[in-house]
Structure 1
């Protein structure tokens, strides 16, 4: 039945194509994208859903969250107006319409314009800084405003809070002592003016949100009602995803951020094009950009940094000319020839550790490897990959004659499954590593490597943000008794995604709609060789250590519409012949943790942050900030 519907959709695309040719009708891009996205979800998603009212309600709730997550603009009346579409998203998808998106975008635009005018009035006069009142900072504990009056009061308090913080920064930067019992009128006026300028800049950017951005929010509300990792990527967001995966990009080699109405250079990447050219510096403001000497200049004033980088990035060997304002006020034009930018921090790194010993014990040496992700350049077979880099590092560390290796997978969010499996094979002679279950069958993934690269003692560090491919590696090493796993329970992402280029589904005569973007689609779940799920559960450490992220609510179990856990039968496999003495290690670790000052400070820090997170009402009395 699903294949019938997908063939029906392909027929629909062909009919659209013929109609557009015969009658000269224009084909709506968002209509094609919506239909295509739905049919891909229905045909290939690991856990498909019915296109019904329940899906509509789930997608509607997710859409509202993305539309105004901090409840700063929309009112209860706006929600009531949109509520008529709560059970109609399924009908809109079938009809190829987008009335909810159009209505919500219009309402949000209207409210933003109202806030613009409102904020100017509020910030025109000083606040009463010594009045006992407070502001609820946690939007989850606030309801939407009951009307214009309540919305204005919310903004009055938010602007007062921002002004107080800005005022205190200005006073602290001066030479005089901070006096919380009296107001410096000049600095107070400067604070209000700065808050007003920054806010108006932010609101202008929100108003300029493209139709594509609005559609991006809408279609991803539908995809995330299937699971939190299925997503539609605009062409620009797909480019960012590719850069993250391969660790390189073509551009000038500078990190940028928004600062008020301008784009500021916050870092020059060593070895990059801008670094070699030498004129662009940290702290410079980029005002304009042109593609070479003869091309039209584009003003970056009040532009989002995500949009600005589209003009600054470009093919290796091409020229970009940046008009820059230096910290001393000088305006200069800097020509830079773009090149490959290598993001070294995204690659594996190593170090040799020689901890101090007491008494007559011999000094020992340990290899430390930090692996931030399972990166791979899928567009270049000769490009860098996590497995190839790690193999070289292990070979180098072996030559040093180390007493053991620490493999740090903390904050590793996954990446290439192939690299995760190859790396597991570096430590295990042979055997199954993973079970992968699709909609129709379950496959077993075996060790792709012959023999091992390293046979000595191994510790793997994990934390709450260790996810996906990193969990596969940690689980395999734990199941084989090959490593001691230390840290905290991992994220619990037990699903596999595939990237589909949506342009491939279009007939040639609809090529004018390209680029459509891409879809990251959940197609499988993976399980340990024991049959136990990683989904929801994650990987529990053998040795638990105090967690600096203990205050964060993270993990698959905290995400809406996460796939349910399942269990499979265990596979037969041969465990490591020289397992560590876990009981002895646990006892010694507990003793060390109990007396270690750094670990005690982590516990105190987490307790402090958790307490502060509970106290979300902020006083707006100047002396109590």
Structure 2
């Protein structure tokens, strides 16, 4: 297949090259990119699509949403003009043309210029902050504006919203003990003018940047609409975005150590790189939206709204030891400022760590000791055969834990986003004797991956912790141990990313005479899917734990199942494999765990907090009356503060002994880690589940 794939692509490029030479036609970069993208998608994507009207409709919807995700520019009249292309993108791709991008780019530019004029007029005078009116924050609940009059009214409310936010920030920073009534019922005219000026400055910059994007950026969005109509992980990278992607994935730059992406008109935190400055600081989380950034305490705040991610990271990156201040919107709606001191990403903190645990409260068997293994990723130095790897570290840790004579092991895969597939499979093999671990299906055949090493390194009771951000290779490991009845899985349903991508440098497909078109960029392409040994998919479904535990981040809408055009559910034939010969009665330990969770104050506070946040998220209409606005924001802030205070005050649940390891973590970091384990209610429940497992096996 691979040879055929390259033959087809080569034929495509040769035809373009010959036409250019023979007829003297200039070859447009967009034509080459469109044709090359479609050829790759058709010949190598795991699940190719027909070039038909349904494809056109899907790509059109993705494209329009990428241009105006919050319905802030286009009117219904604009959409009517664009909708003639809704069923024509298939023809545009075949012809190598992009008339849709030309028209949409022109219409968008016209509306942006119109909004520029509107915004200047609106912000020239103070708002009335004491009338009852609301702004619908959820664009899915709003329709496009009928005309320019409706568009102006929408922008008046949005600019008022931004001005109130800025005014409250400025007033709070300078109030110095003034009573709340003064802040909310009497407008400080000087601060109000400063707030409007700051909003005006930020909006001018934002709209100017959008105008600078022009048709080239619209074309890149168009290509991504084409690729993402196949699946959400197939993506076109411009050369700049490929460089950013590589840097962030390596985590070797000077900065905060966070993987970011554009989410509509916002910058969204996708992943916190373990070991980086943001990871160590602890407040920035996946799902956070970064609204503003400032350098140190004196620099002007820069609004990231509607900014491209490549420019946003230039503000966020910086030299080691310098401070960056991020204004962040949490998934629960709270807006906070996070200060991070930039640093080199410390890879030591990405390595596996281990500890010995024993119960410190009534209800646990104090005579028992358990090994605890924290594994944040399946790391491996691919450039160095003698470099450190997750599998080698786990081998050493298990040997060490065995030497301590532990009664059971907890393997913590929470927030483990995957990594080296080879290491994930090797680690699974440490806990089972032999057998198949995984099925990988491509377009033409299905391969079975087996335990690479006969025998086990640990054969005692095993509990695996997972959560929503357990993904990819970590899901493979958890699924294999669950299918073999080798471990009890506890936590929350995992992410459900069961697909494999490869990255192609598009320049490699260009002949010499078209070298002037370089660099074309790259494509991240989905080529395979994972399946469990049972034939069940990991894709979309994830791994459902045997025991569900309340999760503080349970309100976050995350996972493959939330993404548009996620690959559909499929099943394969189950494989023959030997199950573990000492399974436990899950119904008994599930019942005991459920009883404890229902009686545990910390768990019930988690449940109540998640329910409250989910309820608040349904209320998407924001009051624009100053006092009501403040109280809405303050209520959310106080709710979060109460929850964090009660969780921080959790009693010590476990006695934790740190074992010697090969990491170079400073002593204070190890102490912080030990303190976190001692009060982690989920790890505390994991120990009690292991107690139940041992009691059942021993017949006590």
Shorter-chain TM-score: what band? Answer: 0.7 to 0.9
Aligned pairs for 1:582-621 (under 5 A) are 582-621=586-625
* Residues 351 and 505 of structure 1: CA distance in aligned 2, closer, same or farther (over 3 Å): farther
| Selected match of 1:417 from 421, 427, 434 | 421
2:534 — aligned with what? 530
* Residues 396 and 506 of structure 1: CA distance in aligned 2, closer, same or farther (over 3 Å): farther
2:375 — aligned with what? 371
Distance in 1 (CA, whole Å) between partners of 2:438 and 2:324 is: 54
Deviation at 1:486, TM superposition (A): 0.4
2:296 — aligned with what? 283
* Residues 386 and 77 of structure 1: CA distance in aligned 2, closer, same or farther (over 3 Å): farther
2:132 — aligned with what? 132
SS in structure 2 of the partner of residue 208 of structure 1: helix
Distance in 2 (CA, whole Å) between partners of 1:311 and 1:160 is: 26
* Residues 423 and 109 of structure 1: CA distance in aligned 2, closer, same or farther (over 3 Å): farther
* Residues 349 and 244 of structure 1: CA distance in aligned 2, closer, same or farther (over 3 Å): farther
Deviations 1:85-110 (CA, angstroms, capped at 9, x unpaired)? 11111111111111112222222223
Distance in 2 (CA, whole Å) between partners of 1:386 and 1:106 is: 52
Distance in 2 (CA, whole Å) between partners of 1:413 and 1:182 is: 50
SS in structure 2 of the partner of residue 608 of structure 1: helix
* Residues 614 and 360 of structure 1: CA distance in aligned 2, closer, same or farther (over 3 Å): closer
Residues 101, 215 of structure 2: 8 Å contact kept: no
In structure 1, the gaps of 5 or more residues are: 259-265, 271-280, 288-301, 314-319, 328-338
Distance in 2 (CA, whole Å) between partners of 1:536 and 1:58 is: 20
Distance in 2 (CA, whole Å) between partners of 1:473 and 1:403 is: 22
Deviations 1:52-82 (CA, angstroms, capped at 9, x unpaired)? 1111111001111111111111211221121
1:34 — aligned with what? 34
* Residues 283 and 370 of structure 1: CA distance in aligned 2, closer, same or farther (over 3 Å): farther
| Selected match of 1:452 from 439, 453, 456 | 456
Distance in 2 (CA, whole Å) between partners of 1:170 and 1:608 is: 29
Deviation at 1:131, TM superposition (A): 0.8
* Residues 166 and 102 of structure 1: CA distance in aligned 2, closer, same or farther (over 3 Å): same
2:522 — aligned with what? 518
Distance in 2 (CA, whole Å) between partners of 1:479 and 1:440 is: 26
2:647 — aligned with what? none
Aligned pairs for 1:147-546 (under 5 A) are 147-173=147-173, 174-175=175-176, 176-179=178-181, 180-209=184-213, 213-245=217-249, 247-249=250-252, 251-253=253-255, 283=296, 306-307=310-311, 341-343=345-347, 346-358=350-362, 361-378=365-382, 381-546=385-550
Deviation at 1:233, TM superposition (A): 2.1
* Residues 451 and 309 of structure 1: CA distance in aligned 2, closer, same or farther (over 3 Å): same
SS in structure 1 of the partner of residue 520 of structure 2: coil
SS in structure 1 of the partner of residue 439 of structure 2: strand
Distance in 1 (CA, whole Å) between partners of 2:462 and 2:514 is: 55
Residues 163, 191 of structure 1: 8 Å contact kept: yes
Residues 171, 187 of structure 1: 8 Å contact kept: yes
In structure 2, the gaps of 5 or more residues are: 262-271, 278-293, 301-305, 326-342, 630-700
SS in structure 2 of the partner of residue 486 of structure 1: strand
| Selected match of 2:582 from 546, 562, 578 | 578
Deviation at 1:580, TM superposition (A): 3.4
* Residues 418 and 3 of structure 1: CA distance in aligned 2, closer, same or farther (over 3 Å): closer
Residues 60, 89 of structure 2: 8 Å contact kept: yes
Deviation at 1:5, TM superposition (A): 9.3
Deviations 1:327-366 (CA, angstroms, capped at 9, x unpaired)? 9xxxxxxxxxxx9854555554444444314499435443
Deviation at 1:18, TM superposition (A): 4.0
Deviations 1:158-192 (CA, angstroms, capped at 9, x unpaired)? 11112122222222221212222222222211221
* Residues 215 and 397 of structure 1: CA distance in aligned 2, closer, same or farther (over 3 Å): farther
Q: Decide which structure has greater helix share.
A: 2
Residues 248, 341 of structure 1: 8 Å contact kept: yes
2:679 — aligned with what? none
SS in structure 2 of the partner of residue 434 of structure 1: strand
Deviation at 1:484, TM superposition (A): 0.8
Q: How large is the RMSD of aligned CA atoms in angstroms?
A: 3.6
Deviations 1:506-551 (CA, angstroms, capped at 9, x unpaired)? 2233233333222222222222111222233221111011133332
Residues 377, 383 of structure 1: 8 Å contact kept: yes
SS in structure 1 of the partner of residue 194 of structure 2: helix
SS in structure 2 of the partner of residue 406 of structure 1: strand
Residues 356, 363 of structure 1: 8 Å contact kept: no
Deviations 1:12-36 (CA, angstroms, capped at 9, x unpaired)? 3123334545676543222211111
Distance in 2 (CA, whole Å) between partners of 1:184 and 1:76 is: 39
State the TM-score, normalized to the length of structure 2.
Answer: 0.74
SS in structure 1 of the partner of residue 501 of structure 2: strand
Deviation at 1:479, TM superposition (A): 0.6
Greater CA drift, 498-507 or 357-366:
357-366
State the TM-score, normalized to the length of structure 1.
Answer: 0.83
1:50 — aligned with what? 50
Residues 416, 471 of structure 2: 8 Å contact kept: yes
* Residues 621 and 341 of structure 1: CA distance in aligned 2, closer, same or farther (over 3 Å): closer
SS in structure 1 of the partner of residue 554 of structure 2: coil
Greater CA drift, 56-65 or 439-448:
439-448
Distance in 2 (CA, whole Å) between partners of 1:116 and 1:205 is: 12
Deviation at 1:4, TM superposition (A): 8.3
Q: Does 1:84 align with 2:88?
A: no
Deviation at 1:395, TM superposition (A): 3.9
Greater CA drift, 531-540 or 206-215:
206-215
Residues 354, 364 of structure 1: 8 Å contact kept: yes
SS in structure 1 of the partner of residue 528 of structure 2: strand
SS in structure 1 of the partner of residue 180 of structure 2: coil
SS in structure 2 of the partner of residue 424 of structure 1: helix
* Residues 269 and 461 of structure 1: CA distance in aligned 2, closer, same or farther (over 3 Å): closer
